[in-house]
Amino acid sequence: MARKKSRSKPRKRSASTTSRKRVFSAPRTIEDYNAMSPPDQLFWNNVGAIVTDVRRRASLNQSSRAHGLDARKVRQAAASAFRKLKNGRYTAKDVDHILRVVLLPGRKGLREVGVADSRQASLVGKYWNAVERYRDPPGDASLLRAFRGKYIIDANGKRVRLLANLRELDRLGSAGVLSFAREAASEQTYSE
């Protein structure tokens, strides 16, 4: 009698040998953001800038390419910020609740604040425009006056006062803190 050849069952791979896709977890607070690796922080900053670009009527694909990212990864990372149109294109929602890390001047210098609402980020952008208008000669403080007593709500729900004291802003400007902020603000997009 001829012996039957037995088929061997394929071996299952152990969990250590299978390649797992890395799942990106969107930060919800400034603490989550600070716990991220620098490349992930850069990715997240770019995602926020792309959402803002798309809200300003840029295409998701074009904006993603301009920032060197894959549009699919951007959509996955900030899914709640986009909606799909009937024609298959994606657009940004009018308001989103993704974390953006912004710089704000305080009496002790600049500090990072996480805001989880695009309207709060937009308010920060308007504030920085007012600060820049005051700091650039001839020093127009009219826009900055509108921010006296104003605050934003950070990602933890706490109020963060916007510094509108001209003496304090002059002191920070003389110390070079605001010129540093100008360079950082040009790298990030605050206003919506």
pLDDT tens for 149-161 read: 999 999 999 999 9
75: tokens are 């959509």
| 133 and 72 housed in the same domain | no
| 123 and 177 housed in the same domain | yes
Q: Which domain holds residue 65?
A: 30-92
In a domain, 19, yes or no: no
Residues of the chain with pLDDT under 50: 189-192
The conformation of residue 97, written as its DSSP 8-state character, comes to: -
Q: What per-residue confidence (pLDDT) applies to 192?
A: 46
What are the backbone angles phi and psi of residue 19, rounded to the nearest 5°? -85, 130
Q: Which residues of 106-130 are buried (b: 16+ CB within 10 A; e: fewer)?
A: eeeeeeebbbbbbebbbbbbbbbeb
| 48 and 84 housed in the same domain | yes
**Count of domains for the chain:** 2
Q: Please report which helix (H) or strand (E) contains residue 180, including its range.
A: helix 177-187
Q: What per-residue confidence (pLDDT) applies to 139?
A: 84
Q: What per-residue confidence (pLDDT) applies to 178?
A: 83
| 67 and 107 housed in the same domain | no
- DSSP 3-state assignment of 7? coil
Q: What per-residue confidence (pLDDT) applies to 190?
A: 44
CA distance 114 to 110: 13
Reported in sequence order, the residue ranges of the chain that DSSP labels E, i.e. its strands, are: 82-84, 90-92, 100-106, 109-115, 151-153, 159-161
Domain boundary among 63, 92, 121: 92
| 128 and 177 housed in the same domain | yes
Please state whether the peptide bond connecting residue 39 to the residue before it is cis, i.e. omega within 30 degrees of 0.
no
In a domain, 125, yes or no: yes
In a domain, 2, yes or no: no
- DSSP 3-state assignment of 91? strand
| 127 and 168 housed in the same domain | yes
pTM of the predicted model, to two decimals?
0.79
| 57 and 119 housed in the same domain | no
